[in-house]
Structure 1
Amino acid sequence: MEQRILLCDTTLRDGEQAPGVAFGLPEKEMIARALSDAGIDELEVGVPAMGDGEIKTISQLVTLQLPVRLITWNRAVLSDLQASYKTGVEGVAISIPTSDQQIKNKLRKDRAWVLDQMGQCVLNAKKEVGYVVLGLEDASRADFTFLAEILAEAQKLGVDRVRFADTVGILEPLKIFFTLQELVKISRVPLEFHAHNDLGMATANSLAAVQAGFKAVSVTVGGLGERAGNASLEEVAVALKYTLQEKVQLDLKRLNSIGLTVSLASNRKIPRAKPIIGEDVFTHTSSIHIDGIQKDFANYQTYPPESVGRGHSTSIGKYSGRKTILRLLKAKGIDLDQETIDELLIKILQQTHKLKRPLEEDDIMGIVVSAC
């Protein structure tokens, strides 16, 4: 079987931790089905310890029998795991703080306590579910020797995957590459990278982790998540294929529709310039760019927009220039003298400034009619 990088989506867990976001069951079903149909490798679907309502919702997702592994997120607390077992999920993620900052100042414990609690919870989970992910919270600020000790223990306990979390989004790609490749050398357990986007580097950091040898990446649709969010599914998936030339199972043509689905469910608009799924990311306005793609799309694209269910478009703006206007007029069968075209360009520029947006074809034709 050909090796590929696993895309582990946590939109229904970490994504739902974004301020003001709360998915109802129909919305969770819709998102889970969309991701599953697109070929996502794993779905982290919630936190059963939140209560009976969450347990019921996750249980209903399990009954859908989607062709994808469903896991839940848990603290290293037996009561959390017992709540997860009630849902019938195939796997559980068990999260343990690994930095001294969090061990001492959040838990008020020590490293020995963390290892002991980890051991108890993993052994308990191995009896109840088929897949166990060990999440290393705040691993980016943890001591390397302690991480190595945890990895060795995780292997003995039979953990299926270890998740390295840059919980506060403090890392940068070079540090990730050189640090994480050392973890890869000592780990016999597959490693996953979980990025936060506090400094705008979640996608770059996720790619650096893959280059260092990590086999899985944690993502959310649109980068939805706490604070500045997580690594974006669409950015990571496309970059894996077209930048790193890695094999991904996900159907990239579905990314746009998935993004719209989550946007509606979360009541959060997709920014116009959002990579991959933003309204403007395949739209060309400057005359130089429009002329370039008319000659060869490769002049101004790194991957075909059709590969992600999109297409090229053009708009008229401040930098569109004479050639772009003439091309539009010719397509409409309109022939104007030089003086009229000069007047038209001035009016287009004025209207662009007034509306503060690109002009649509109807806007242009309205200006043409008024100028003739």
Structure 2
Amino acid sequence: MTALFPPVRLANRPAVLCDTTLRDGEQTAGVAFSLDEKRAIARALDAAGVSELEVGIAAMGWEEVAEIRAIIAELESAEPVVWCRLRMGDLDMAGKTGARRVHFAVPTSDRQLVGKLKVDRAWALQNTAELVYTAVSRGFHVSVGAEDASRTDPAFVAEIARVAQAAGAIRFRLADTLGLLDPFGAHALVSAIVARTVLPIEFHAHDDFGMATANTLAAWHAGASHLSVTVNGLGERAGNAALEEVAAALEAQGVATGIDLHCLSALSSLVALASGRPLPPNKSVVGDMVFSHEAGIHVDAILKNGDTYEDPRSAPARFGRERRLVLGKHSGIAGLRAALAAANLPAGEAVARAILPLLRDFAVREKRPAAPEDLAHLVAMAWHLERLNAEDGE
């Protein structure tokens, strides 16, 4: 079968995930991490194998600088990156953090340049050259990002990349700042810039149309080597590409990310608590119910052979989790009998058939799966109804 987006480079090349939970993730409206939460998140990301962390915006002030220094002290292997606007003052403040990596965000679309900064393309080119050269001269490793790249003339994006490279940048980021791309557009944009620069390409997606993960995968297939993500997809407006989704999807395709998939669930829960954004039960990879099965046809098949509705690439064990067979409105006889037996309750087919309508009524009424104690109650209820029916028959 021919791939929809054939890779432009070797298929076995790895993908480097660059996490921005502590920067773009905290820019989610209403989200604010304490220092202790930031440190715990940084440690968890580091332990999970994330290669690079955007640890904050030093230009926010001296308190932020102090927090960035504290976060950096927690890291054992991940590289910390300080995010900067295209301003000398931002670079000066980044220099106080102890980080040796900085990222400059360059507004590239005419809407951003004129509408936000009241400047032109020449300003962007000149300031990119000056700031990158100055940062490199101060000993920083510098990446440059094209903000709003998806609404920018690709030729100008390529020109920014050329200037950044000449000034000493080590990487170039393409940001779909408003989340306007679909996977075809993301692939086309990355392909166009990969062909015009020797700098490694990073892709930064937003989820305004629910396609951040898909766009990020398309970007990798087009030649992007670095992928920007956040835990749980936190970020401005609808959020960013979710670390857990991107890592799981790439690893399922045989692409090495360096991420320990067993760490994802605990990492996700940590960030959900710190951000005050509870996870939906059906959240991909990390949701509480994503490895649960209820439908009778599915459960019957899984009881016979697990891989009928689970694939080794996405099975719960791959993420350090377990399959759950739950009882509800759509359960069938096979699943119900298995649950009755597991609860040490009568599990004959006649018993199951007597309980099944009671289970369906329970599911509609309670809006949750039936637990073992609920089953015991249903068995007693079925027995009681059977006795009443027998007495009526007499």
TM-score scaled by length of structure 2:
0.91
Matched, 1:329 2:340: yes
Query: 2:91 & 2:181 partners in 1: Cα distance?
Result: 30
Query: 2:192 & 2:203 partners in 1: Cα distance?
Result: 14
Tell me the residue number matched to 1:366. Answer: 377
CA contact (8 A) 1:285 1:319 kept: yes
Matched, 1:84 2:94: yes
Kindly, what percent of the aligned residue pairs are identical?
A: 42
Tell me the residue number matched to 1:245. Answer: 254
Quick check: 138-147 or 294-303, which moved more?
294-303
Tell me the residue number matched to 2:214. Answer: 204
Tell me the residue number matched to 2:118. Answer: 108
CA contact (8 A) 2:340 2:375 kept: no
CA contact (8 A) 1:89 1:129 kept: no
Query: 1:335 & 1:278 partners in 2: Cα distance?
Result: 31
Tell me the residue number matched to 1:348. Answer: 359
CA RMSD of aligned residues (A): 1.4
1:46 CA drift (Å): 0.5
1:3 CA drift (Å): 4.2
Query: 1:69 & 1:354 partners in 2: Cα distance?
Result: 51
Matched, 1:318 2:329: yes
Matched, 1:221 2:231: yes
CA contact (8 A) 1:203 1:235 kept: yes
Quick check: 23-32 or 294-303, which moved more?
294-303
Q: Which of these residues, 306, 310, 320, is aligned with residue 301 of structure 1?
A: 310
Tell me the residue number matched to 2:159. Answer: 149
1:300 CA drift (Å): 1.1
Tell me the residue number matched to 1:13. Answer: 23
1:358 CA drift (Å): 1.9
Query: 2:284 & 2:306 partners in 1: Cα distance?
Result: 18
| Greater radius of gyration (CA) | 2
Partner SS, residue 45 of structure 1: strand
1:304 CA drift (Å): 2.1
1:174-226 superposed Cα distances (whole Å, 9 cap, x missing partner): 12112321211111000000000000000000000000000000000000111
1:69 CA drift (Å): 0.6
1:75-124 superposed Cα distances (whole Å, 9 cap, x missing partner): 00000111111001120010010111111111111000011111111111
- Relative to structure 1, is the Cα distance of residues 167 and 334 closer, same or farther in structure 2, using a 3 angstrom cutoff? same
Query: 1:108 & 1:289 partners in 2: Cα distance?
Result: 59
Tell me the residue number matched to 2:7. Answer: none
Query: 1:224 & 1:134 partners in 2: Cα distance?
Result: 22
Partner SS, residue 186 of structure 1: coil
CA contact (8 A) 1:85 1:129 kept: no
Matched, 1:121 2:112: no
Query: 2:349 & 2:140 partners in 1: Cα distance?
Result: 75
1:336 CA drift (Å): 5.0
Tell me the residue number matched to 1:66. Answer: 76
Partner SS, residue 95 of structure 1: strand
Name stretches of at least 5 consecutive residues in structure 1 with no aligned partner.
none
- Relative to structure 1, is the Cα distance of residues 170 and 337 closer, same or farther in structure 2, using a 3 angstrom cutoff? closer
Matched, 1:52 2:62: yes
Query: 1:365 & 1:167 partners in 2: Cα distance?
Result: 54
CA contact (8 A) 1:91 1:129 kept: no
Tell me the residue number matched to 1:274. Answer: 283
Name stretches of at least 5 consecutive residues in structure 2 with no aligned partner.
1-11, 384-394
Quick check: 133-142 or 154-163, which moved more?
154-163
- Relative to structure 1, is the Cα distance of residues 246 and 335 closer, same or farther in structure 2, using a 3 angstrom cutoff? closer
Query: 1:165 & 1:150 partners in 2: Cα distance?
Result: 13
The amino acid of 2:279's aligned partner reads I
1:313 CA drift (Å): 0.6
- Relative to structure 1, is the Cα distance of residues 141 and 335 closer, same or farther in structure 2, using a 3 angstrom cutoff? closer
CA contact (8 A) 1:222 1:233 kept: yes
Query: 1:75 & 1:46 partners in 2: Cα distance?
Result: 12
Partner SS, residue 224 of structure 2: coil
Partner SS, residue 89 of structure 2: helix
CA contact (8 A) 1:93 1:132 kept: yes
1:256 CA drift (Å): 0.3
The amino acid of 2:94's aligned partner reads S
1:323 CA drift (Å): 2.1
Matched, 1:171 2:181: yes
Query: 1:168 & 1:223 partners in 2: Cα distance?
Result: 15
Query: 2:326 & 2:288 partners in 1: Cα distance?
Result: 12
1:337 CA drift (Å): 7.0
Tell me the residue number matched to 1:180. Answer: 190
Query: 1:304 & 1:51 partners in 2: Cα distance?
Result: 45
CA contact (8 A) 1:167 1:196 kept: yes
- Relative to structure 1, is the Cα distance of residues 270 and 337 closer, same or farther in structure 2, using a 3 angstrom cutoff? closer
1:18 CA drift (Å): 0.7
Partner SS, residue 362 of structure 1: helix
1:5-25 superposed Cα distances (whole Å, 9 cap, x missing partner): 110000000000011111111
Query: Aligned residue pairs: how many?
Result: 369
1:65 CA drift (Å): 4.6
1:352 CA drift (Å): 0.4
1:335 CA drift (Å): 4.7
